[in-house]
Amino acid sequence: MKFCSQCGHSVSQHIPQGDSRLRYVCDHCQVIHYQNPNIVAGCVATWGTQVLLCRRAIEPRKGYWTLPAGFMENGETVEQAAQRETREEACAEVVNLSIYTLIDVPHINQVHIFYRAQMLNPHYAAGEESLDVRLFDEADIPWSELAFRTVSRTLECFFADRPNQVYPVRSEAVAPLAGLAKPQQ
């Protein structure tokens, strides 16, 4: 950050009085510019025993498969964001959402929250951010072609929990991949 979004003057980094972290502070109007993690919301959307996956049409990880998910917008709940992203990426409507995984990705300042959800009907299609959308049986999940570790981890948990039909809310974190300058989540 180089300029204040309030007054347009330059900013510098320092620890404001009463704070404990380095922040961007306007040298002119003294506004503190807090930078906080982004929330990614999505769904493990199912139709019967199958799971809905989208092949990404955008970077990062273009061409790889993912659960329908994306950044939460201002003015919506996390659940609404998960429903909207599923609609945008897979043209699918979901109901009966239940929070399932909350995965911290601190090295890229994100929190990924996935809900379990049922598709309202078997209708889906590729949205603008998807090259392809399909329903997969567990045996056919393209594990080596999944875009993000948070998606892999959520699906691993889902298929491990499904035989007993007990889906505890899971909270964990992922670390950066070793040897990568800009690791994928």
| pLDDT tens column, 133-167 | 999 999 999 999 999 999 999 999 999 999 999 99
Task: Round to whole Å and give the CA distance between 172 and 137.
Answer: 26
Q: Looking at beta carbons, which pairs linking 2-5 to residues 24 or more positions away fall under 8 Å? A: 4/28, 4/29, 4/31, 4/33, 5/33
What local confidence, expressed as pLDDT, does residue 183 receive?
35
Burial class for 129, CB neighbours closer than 10 Å (0-12, 13-18, 19+): middle
Number of H helices, E strands in the chain: 2, 11
What local confidence, expressed as pLDDT, does residue 67 receive?
98
Task: Round to whole Å and give the CA distance between 158 and 49.
Answer: 11
Using the predicted structure, report yes or no on whether residue 8 has a pLDDT greater than 90: yes
DSSP 114: E
Whether 112 and 150 have beta carbons less than 8 Å apart is answered as yes
Residue that wins the pLDDT comparison between 178 and 15:
15
What local confidence, expressed as pLDDT, does residue 184 receive?
41
Domains 1-35 and 38-173 equal at CATH topology level: no
Choices 3.60.15.10, 3.40.50.2300, 3.40.50.720, 3.90.79.10: CATH for 38-173 = 3.90.79.10
Q: What percent of the chain has pLDDT over 70?
A: 96
Average pLDDT over residues 23-34: 94
What local confidence, expressed as pLDDT, does residue 185 receive?
40
What CATH architecture is 1-35?
Single Sheet (2.20)
Q: What percent of the chain has pLDDT over 90?
A: 94
Using the predicted structure, report yes or no on whether residue 40 has a pLDDT greater than 70: yes
The domain ranges of the chain are 1-35, 38-173
List, for residues 85-142, the tens digit of each pLDDT value.
999 999 999 999 999 999 999 999 999 999 999 999 999 999 999 999 999 999 999 9
What local confidence, expressed as pLDDT, does residue 179 receive?
58
